[in-house]
Amino acid sequence: MVIAAAGIVVFLGIVALLLPGLMGGDDDQGGSPTAPSPGAARPTESSQPSAQPSETPGGPRLTEATALATRFLAYLNANDQKHATALGCADSKNLLAGQLIVMIDPPTKLAVSGPAAAVSSYYPRISVPFAGTTKGGVPLAGTVDIMDQPTRPLCVRLTSLAH
């Protein structure tokens, strides 16, 4: 059953990569997500990363992408899938929510594990590697893929697992 669910998530991920407009909508989030309720292990940053590049004009926004991935992982560690999904791109929030259901089981302890890198793909993105554990001790590693369109705020597109 778990293998079938993982297969469905992989299939949906491929479809979302090949047809970004398939799920409709615009990647513009129209503001930041609702602030999480007070509690331990919650992310501390309160605003969306700026739409301005941090390195060079027109270049990838590696610093902002790393900050967004760190916030995303902190929400997962706090078992707050609602706010983690709110950081997703408008056209991939449903897919992202499905991925989180299949991939993440508390207690989770994930963190950024390396430098962010711009990736040439079907859509401009920055991949931020992460590693840690889920289900209390099951190793988990992969990347948080951040959509990088210079005229729009950064958003979480997908999360990929390394094998």
Domains of the chain, by residue range, sit at 60-161
What digits encode the pLDDT tens for the residues 58-104? 445 999 999 999 999 999 999 999 999 999 999 889 999 988 888 88
CB 70 within 8 A of CB 112: yes
Q: Tell me: pLDDT of 54 over 80.
A: no
DSSP designation for 42:
-
End-to-end CA distance of the chain: 19
- The CATH number assigned to the domain with range 60-161 reads 3.10.450.50
Burial zone of 118 (CB within 10 Å; 0-12 exposed, 13-18 middle, 19+ buried): middle
d(CA 22, CA 124): 17
**CB hemisphere CA count around 61 (13 angstroms):** 25
What pLDDT was estimated at residue 100? Answer: 87
**CB hemisphere CA count around 148 (13 angstroms):** 28
CB 128 within 8 A of CB 69: yes
In the block, which residue shows the tokens 């989180």? 100
pLDDT band at 34 (very low <50, low <70, confident <90, very high): very low
